[in-house]
A = this chain, B = another copy of it.
Amino acid sequence: MSEQARTEISSLGEFGLIDHLTKNVEIHNASTILGVGDDGAVIDHFGKQTVVSTDLLLEGVHFDLAYTPLKHLGYKSVIVNLSDIYAMNAVPTQITMSLGISNRFSLEALDEFYEGVYAACNRYQVDLIGGDTTTSQRGFVISVTAIGEVSPDKFVKRSTAQKGDLLCVSGDLGAAYVGLLFLEREKRIFMESPGVQPDLENETYVIGRLLKPEARKDIVDFFTEKEILPTSMMDISDGLSSEILHICKNSNLGCVVYEDKLPVEEAMKTAAFKFEIDPTACALSGGEDYELLFTLSQSDYDKIVLNEQISVIGYMTEPEQGSHIITKGGGKHAITAQGWNPLK
């Protein structure tokens, strides 16, 4: 954002602002029959089923503008919603974006935010089809609804895992949480000594995972290509432990997870050690990974074994056996949800 220019949002009025923000909107999907600019948007998924998910992101609760660039925030606001659509085994096609903006935001700041929104829309080929833009007395409010499509009855719920299924995750876990620890630490240092320059050069991986997550389109595409239908699936936003317990509870099953199978990056382990915390704890409880957690029939094992982006971390058991993790040392511990609680 240029320091020179500051255009007050109120100078455009609501409709001028909407025109400004949406004048370059591109449509990527034939399903978008009518986009921005009317009371509602119109979608035709042509015989497919429609999947809907929504998230509310509030300043001071979900993000801190002290260390979150607005462009990244715009990008991430879209991604966290697309992740939910992929977690249903569906393909996102449209989003609506509503914003509450306080008067400390200039038009230039809002443009930066929308640069990120449009970058995510282009990368994932989704269409921005509507929203609502209003003033807020305090704090930046972001509400996104993502819409997707799925072939009839091919959506995947959390409640349909079967005993003996393989428990799998995509990508790697825990890095976003460690990235958050670095940024919170730098913020404290900056508040105490504004002259000190941040030293985050070696932490680009973990910080990138926090500030610019991606949604696992590639995994859902891979399922389609290999004709795999997971028996259950959800995305990992609150932390692996918490999500595993959702699948177990909703499917009325237990599970066994192996610590040495949890996918973690070397960069995350190195960074975690700087805070003297256990990388496994980060992987289990960190949150904001936006990876996919899913169960597969054992007969699908051959189809996934060569995909390096998929790790089998355990298997589903009878509910009476509970949900446990087997540590590297051979210990057995109950899995507990220590994920983020947005109501505390």
Contacts and interface: CB of A to CB of B under 8 A. Distances in A.
Interface in A93-108: 94, 96, 98-101
Interface stretch (A38-46, A170-178, A299-307, A321-329): A38-46
A255 interface: no
B145 A52 contact: yes
A341 B56 contact: no
A260 interface: no
A150 interface: yes
A157 interface: yes
A148 B40 contact: yes
Interface in A79-115: 84-85, 87-88, 90, 94, 96, 98-101
Interface stretch (A8-16, A70-78, A308-316): A8-16
Nearest to A232: B38
Given A88-B40, A148-B40, A33 B55 contact: no
| Most interface-central of A42, A146, A235 (chain B CB within 10 A) | A42
A22 interface: no
A98 B136 CA distance: 16
Contacts of A136: 58, 61, 139
A128 to B, nearest CB: 12
A133 B41 contact: no
Contacts of A143: 54, 56, 98, 143
Given A61-B137, A141-B141, A342-B14, A42 B34 contact: no
Given A33-B49, A130-B52, A137 B344 contact: no
Contacts of A148: 40
A51 to B, nearest CB: 4
The contact size tier of chain A is 35 or more
Contacts of A130: 52-54
Nearest to A52: B41
A330 interface: no
A138 interface: yes
Contacts of A246: 15
A285 interface: no
Contact of A61 (B38, B55, B135): B135
A305 to B, nearest CB: 26
Given A40-B84, A42-B155, A141 B54 contact: no
Contact of A52 (B14, B84, B94): B94
A343 interface: yes
Nearest to A55: B132
Contacts of A84: 39-40
A56 B96 contact: no
A141 B137 CA distance: 11
A64 to B, nearest CB: 12
A157 B35 CA distance: 11
A217 B40 CA distance: 16
Interface of A: 9-10, 12-15, 17, 33-34, 37-45, 47, 49-56, 58-62, 84-85, 87-88, 90, 94, 96, 98-101, 129-139, 141, 143, 145-148, 150, 152, 155, 157-159, 233-235, 246, 250, 341-344
8 contacts: A10-B343, A12-B343, A39-B234, A43-B49, A44-B152, A58-B141, A100-B141, A134-B342
